[in-house]
Amino acid sequence: MKMIKHYLLFLLVALSVLKLRADEGIWLPMLLEQLNEQEMKTMGLKITAEDIYSINHSSMKDGILLFGTGCTGSLISPEGLLITNHHCGLSLIQKHSSLEHDYLKQGFWAMNKAEELLNPGLTVTFIVRMEDVSERVLAEVGEEMALTEKKAIIDARIKEIIAEATEGTHYEAVVKPFYQGNEYYLIVSEKYLDVRLVGAPPNGIGSYGGDVDNWMWPRHSGDFSLFRIYTAPDGSPAPYSPQNVPMKSRYFFPVSTQGVKEGDFAMIYGFPYRTQEYLSSYGIQYVEEVEHPSRIALRHERLRIIDREMSKSDKVRIQYASKQSGIANGYKKWQGAVRGLRRAGAVSKKQAYEAEFMRRVSGKEEWRAKYSHILPELKSLYQQFRPVARHFWYFQEAAYAIELIDFAAELGELTALMQGGASEAAIADARSKALRRAKGFFNNYEPKIDREIMAVMLRMYADSIPASQQPEVLREIVNSKKYQGDFELFAQEVFTESAFTNGRSFESFLTNADLRQIEKDPAYQLMAQLVSHYYSHILPPFQQLKAQIDELNRLYMQAQREVFSEKRFYPDANFSLRLTYGKVQGYQPRDAVVYRYYTTLSGAIDKYRNHPEKGVYDLPERLMQLYQDKDYGPYGQEGEMRIGFITTTHTTGGNSGSPVFDGEGRLIGLYFDRNWEGTMSDIFYDPEQCRGISVDIRYILFLIDKYAGAGYLLNEMKLE
């Protein structure tokens, strides 16, 4: 009896760890028909997989774009009008902002096409097609080959495939590994080069709640911005020219004004950046105990300094807006993830899964020979990896947090040419490139902040990494008679003596400096010492162990697909085009607390009123007025203005700005974030707790029309 009970319990755990809920998964659009279409239909999809992705005729994929290098956007008019997040457009809005034109604070709205603002360097990229090229890439790769040999063969095949795919076209192509390198896909894309800013709400709307609300539900921000793509008159991508015309969209999305209700089907199309859903329990432990805590600790101190200075000065607030939000974003997310992993019992659930894996593997001779070594080897590799990776993250988050180091490192190209005795012309070219870069850098640079960060970061690094592994220069600061561990004194000296700390002195210095003078600069010297230590002592062991872990993970992935053949596997996110689907649904964050699936403007007003100091809850007056007058036009519902809603979809960074669709492929919202309880979904998806947060599209229409008075833009859209 006891035996049977034991067995039943075991079976139950095994079954529960194998279960993949419909909501989990970051699916490949071209495999939807085969893997997902049926299930999606039962959940509420009304169109076909072919409508979502097709290479034969125009489909939804033609309206989805990679915005810049890190976000998603989508076309919402036949004239190239696109929508993405406010936080995705932030660095561009910031570039156009000054104390006189504070678009961060006031928002920006072009009232006609001539008023749209140029963004040199900004691109958007569409996917032309994707193709499984695994057979060709892996044809000559043998299981027993050395890693370097495998890599050389794979790289050579990839190069050929890319050359063939792009020959005679203006397309770009990449071949990316999927399923940890068990499969490879060719992705052909087309890039557009003239993308103009059309509209953005003020920070007080676009990032209402700021860092306090970031990664949180309930949420009240209108996180969107609008841009327009321009092409050459013949429709081809072209850099800015006054002759350029608005793009003729191949596909654009109708906008639903119907609203959403609990249980509705929802799908999100975009470019999720990276997930690690198939990590072993050892991998999760490493992230939870080493990687995230190291990064959190260093960013905590860096942000303390930046936030303090931003709150003291409008100039610094504008200069550091985009940098700060990037640093704070990861900082907060990792904290949520660590908590979420613990709360979900991710490690013990993985252990149960691994026990079932081992049970199945040992039951079959062939599997035992091929796969039984994987988990024990991963365990021992992670033991070696943990201290090495800790040092790696300390270096990344401490040394590269010092903007001066980062900036000085960019002179590498120039100094390498000088060292190698390159031609005068080549050196002059690199010199003027460096001078151009310097302009951008010093526009948004406050040496006082960086000096303090330098002292604090170097001290934390020196305090946390064993002395024997530290770069010489740190040991000197700690041990020398001169400094006796006084990092402030050291930083002060560097900042007083270096020519790198303000725009004007740097420009006159670099215009004439020879190699010896550059190398003598204390900021350059510090950079050179730190960076050379990194490349000789920190990076190589990190990369070597990581490559071994990656290779085992590849085999582990192969094994899981074979051993758990009843399970449907989706490939981890790798910044390729994906679709995820689920339902509009609230959740229960903790005992006795239930979160509703939507928020309203009344909630935003509550936050405003409850924070007399305002800070991140400073709503623009005009919005308050519209609220008081309940002037919501056709965009309200039952006397309320809805702001955000949540779905059980599986998303990650890079999905920011992704369109959210109903079952008919109509735009119902704009994805921008996840909830605090669910940020661990990059590693461990828990359907009870993980939610995607989107702005209700009706709030966006309301803001464009009623708040900004830019209703002319709605005439281009197809509202349904």
**Under the rule (CB under 6 A), what is the footprint of ligand ASP?**
329, 651-653, 655-656, 672-674
Name the residue with tokens 């490192």.
Answer: 409
Q: Burial of 499 by CB count in 10 Å (0-12 exposed, 13-18 middle, 19+ buried)?
A: buried
Separation CA 702–CA 86 (nearest Å) = 16
Closest separation in Å from C-beta 549 to ligand ASP:
24
Closest separation in Å from C-beta 95 to ligand ASP:
19
| Alpha-carbon separation of residue 192 from 80, 92, 232, 502, 688 (angstroms) | 11, 17, 10, 35, 40
How many other CB atoms sit within 10 Å of the CB of residue 233? 10
Q: What is the DSSP string of 562-579?
A: HHTTTSPP-PPP-SS-EE
| Alpha-carbon separation of residue 44 from 267, 664, 689 (angstroms) | 10, 9, 22
**Which DSSP category does 715 fall into?**
G
Closest separation in Å from C-beta 586 to ligand ASP:
18
**What is the set of active-site residues?**
87, 223, 656
Q: Which residue is nearest to ligand ASP (CB)?
A: 653
Q: List all residues 6 or more positions away from 498 whose beta carbon is below 8 Å from its beta carbon.
A: 404, 521, 522, 523, 524
Pick the closer one to ligand ASP by CB: 237 or 654: 654
Beta bridge partners of 598: 645
Closest separation in Å from C-beta 677 to ligand ASP:
13
Element (DSSP H or E) covering residue 550: helix 539-563
Closest separation in Å from C-beta 476 to ligand ASP:
39
Cβ–Cβ < 8 Å for 229, 63:
no
Rg (CA), the chain: 27
Phi, psi of 696 (to 5 degrees): -65, 130
Separation CA 542–CA 534 (nearest Å) = 10
**Which DSSP category does 75 fall into?**
E
Separation CA 229–CA 244 (nearest Å) = 10
Element (DSSP H or E) covering residue 184: strand 183-192
Please choose, from the candidates 21, 75, 25, 29, the residue with its C-alpha nearest in 3D space to the C-alpha of residue 195. Answer: 75
Closest separation in Å from C-beta 653 to ligand ASP:
3
For the chain, the straight-line distance linking the first and the last C-alpha, in angstroms and rounded, comes to 62
Closest separation in Å from C-beta 594 to ligand ASP:
22
Cβ–Cβ < 8 Å for 32, 51:
no
Phi, psi of 316 (to 5 degrees): -65, -35
Closest separation in Å from C-beta 73 to ligand ASP:
13
